[in-house]
């Protein structure tokens, strides 16, 4: 199947629902398969152009003519491609779980090049894409531990990125790994270091590829290395033909100007072990993946990832009743199970803080403020239904600065409620729950 063409059979039905321009283009595409390479190179050109010519526009200023003229060319291709690929990606783009393809899912598809807001597949299920960059920091390796060498690009809203921030603090890696924080809002072009342009009446823009002036959201750093506007620019710097999603976290090597790794579960593993020889004793002895608990942790990671960490997304991004219920019920079964596991216990695995706590915390801390309402995971709240889980999250938050200082409820709430218009079209951010996390 070529990237620009839809599958026959489904096509006729689909063509009828497209506007004439899209429809014509698809018919031509189906007749001449050679159009595919032209099509994709046009897409790449448009994408590069967007990536390399970022635009900043003040919320109130009119569209400058230079921008207008650029946009009269590129977005036409871009939007057109985006719309046709949307359907393509829904039916064909396979996505997968944390470490690799899960059953029934395969490696990241080129199909999802453009429409990054099409979260669910055709069957109504959300499937997370496999991460692309899988190198590691290791002593004697291509990316050795070195002071000041790395930059961690994160969103404070993202639970996966949040894992890496917690481990960075727990291990005292601040002088080895700097942090760059994107804006909480994620638009049609993915994460940006700036807020979106707002219409003059304060509404949300229909334009893509532009960013507004900083809006004072605390802790947003911009891109200190390249002054990028969008995170995607980093991905294209490394691979101009990159066709996956533009996800955080991104662990960047300043020396070789490349992405070391964009898979949080792996980043936290090598953060845990590979800097030890350069750390003070207190931080070197912190072991979040101790030998004796590895099989227990691995076992928990599997079902906690599937049903809880990813389960909230699978519930929230589901577009059919069935897909939603297929995920929300197992989610609460797993929360019930975790609640029992924490009976009379301080930590998830064994009697010490491990990566299992870190990985669960970033989901649980977002649960009452966001997932309960936004993702409809509302069989119960953590604070009312799960006393052990609630006590556990409160202990971590209030008694360990690595958890509290990396938890930003503003970013968390603004991101989810403002970035998924298919779920929350008004983008109004709820005020509660008050407090976001209960006191000890």
By CB under 6 A, name the one of 126, 153, 160, 176 that touches ligand GSH.
Answer: 160
Contacts of ligand GSH in 332-361 (CB under 6 A): none
Residue number, 169 or 415, with CB nearest to ligand GSH: 415
CA distance 368 to 397: 14
How does strand 55-56 pair with strand 190-191?
unpaired
Q: Does 112 bind ligand GSH (CB under 6 A)?
A: no
In the list 190, 380, 421, 433, the residue contacting ligand GSH (rule: CB under 6 A) is 190
Choice from 29, 51, 82, 98 touching ligand GSH (CB under 6 A): 98
246 binds ligand GSH (CB under 6 A): yes
- Range list of H helices, 194-254: 232-238
- Tokens 């072990």 sit on residue: 273
Q: Tell me: does residue 249 bind ligand GSH (CB under 6 A).
A: yes
- Identify the burial level of 42 via C-beta atoms within 10 angstroms of its C-beta, where 0-12 means exposed, 13-18 middle and 19 or more buried: middle
Q: By CB neighbour count within 10 A (0-12 exposed, 13-18 middle, 19+ buried), where does 146 fall?
A: middle
Find out whether 99 and 298 touch, Cβ atoms under 8 Å: no
In the DSSP assignment, the letter for residue 188 is: T
Question: Contacts with ligand GSH in 277-316 (CB under 6 A)?
Answer: none
Interaction of residue 85 with ligand GSH, rule CB under 6 A: no
Residue from the set 57, 245, 314, 420 that interacts with ligand GSH by CB under 6 A: 245
Contact status: 264 vs ligand GSH (CB under 6 A): yes
Give me the least distance between CB of 12 and ligand GSH, in Å please: 31
Measured CA distances, 341 to 40, 101, 193, 345 (Å): 51, 29, 40, 7
Which range touches ligand GSH (CB under 6 A), out of 22-30, 218-226, 243-251, 402-410?
243-251
Residue of 3, 30, 108, 116 that binds ligand GSH (CB under 6 A): 116
> How many residues would you count in the chain?
440
According to CB under 6 A, which one of 40, 121, 125, 131 is a site residue for ligand GSH? 131
Q: Is 363 in the site for ligand GSH (CB under 6 A)?
A: no
Q: Within 10 A of 43 (CB to CB), how many other CB atoms are there?
A: 22
Q: What residues act catalytically? A: 158
CA-wise closest residue to 63 among 185, 182, 208, 228:
208
Which residues contact residue 236 at a Cβ distance below 8 angstroms, ignoring those fewer than 6 apart?
A: 47, 48, 51, 52, 242
Q: Judged by CB, which is closer to ligand GSH: 98, or 178?
A: 98
According to CB under 6 A, which one of 114, 192, 247, 319 is a site residue for ligand GSH? 247
Structure tokens at 145: 């531990």
Piece of 155-163, 211-219, 356-364, 431-439 that binds ligand GSH (CB under 6 A):
155-163
- Compute how many residues bind ligand GSH; rule: CB under 6 A: 17
DSSP-derived secondary structure for 50-83: HHHS-EE--TTSPPPHHHHHHHHHHHHHHHHHHH
Q: Specify the residue, 30 or 369, whose C-beta has the smaller distance to ligand GSH.
A: 369
List 105, 263, 306, 357, residue binding ligand GSH (CB under 6 A): 263
Binding site for ligand GSH (CB under 6 A): 98, 116, 128, 131, 158-160, 190, 245-249, 262-265
């Amino acid at each position: 199947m070529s990237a620009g063409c839809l599958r026959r059979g489904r096509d006729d039905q689909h063509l009828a629902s497209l506007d004439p321009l899209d429809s014509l283009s698809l018919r031509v595409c189906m007749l001449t398969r050679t159009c595919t390479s032209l099509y994709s190179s046009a897409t790449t050109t448009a994408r590069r152009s967007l990536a390399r010519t970022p635009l900043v526009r003040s919320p109130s200023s009119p569209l400058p003519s230079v921008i207008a003229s650029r946009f009269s060319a590129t977005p036409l291709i871009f939007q057109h491609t985006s719309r046709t690929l949307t359907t393509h990606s829904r039916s064909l783009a396979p996505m997968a779980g944390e470490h690799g393809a899960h059953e029934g899912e395969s490696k990241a598809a080129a199909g999802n090049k453009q429409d990054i807001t099409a979260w669910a597949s055709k069957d109504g299920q959300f499937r997370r894409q496999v991460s692309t960059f899988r190198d590691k920091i290791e002593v004697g390796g291509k990316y050795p531990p070195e002071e000041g060498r790395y930059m961690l690009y994160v969103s404070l809203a993202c639970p996966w990125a949040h894992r890496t921030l917690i481990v960075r603090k727990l291990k005292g890696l601040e002088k080895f790994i700097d942090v760059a924080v994107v804006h909480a809002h994620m638009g049609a072009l993915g994460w940006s270091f700036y807020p979106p342009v707002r219409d003059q009446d304060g509404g949300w823009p229909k334009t893509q590829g532009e960013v507004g002036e900083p809006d004072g959201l605390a802790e947003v750093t911009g891109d200190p290395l390249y002054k990028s506007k969008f995170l995607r620019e980093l991905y294209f710097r490394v691979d101009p033909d990159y066709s996956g999603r533009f996800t955080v976290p991104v662990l960047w090597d300043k020396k070789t100007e490349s992405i070391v790794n964009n898979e949080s579960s792996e980043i936290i593993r090598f953060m845990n072990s590979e800097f030890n020889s350069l750390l003070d004793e207190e931080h070197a002895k912190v072991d979040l993946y101790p030998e004796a608990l590895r099989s227990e942790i691995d076992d928990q990671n599997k079902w906690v990832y599937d049903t809880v960490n990813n389960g909230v997304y699978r519930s929230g991004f589901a577009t059919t009743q069935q897909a939603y219920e297929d995920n929300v019920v197992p989610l609460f079964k797993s929360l019930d199970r975790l609640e029992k596991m924490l009976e009379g216990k301080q930590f998830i695995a064994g009697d010490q803080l491990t990566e299992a706590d870190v990985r669960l915390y970033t989901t649980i801390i977002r649960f009452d403020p966001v997932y309960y309402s936004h993702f409809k995971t509302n069989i119960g709240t953590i604070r009312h239904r799960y006393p052990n889980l609630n006590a556990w999250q409160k202990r971590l938050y209030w008694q360990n600065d690595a958890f509290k200082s990396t938890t930003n409820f503003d970013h968390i709430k603004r991101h989810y409620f403002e970035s998924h218009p298919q779920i929350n079209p008004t983008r109004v951010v709820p005020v509660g729950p008050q407090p976001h996390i209960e006191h000890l």
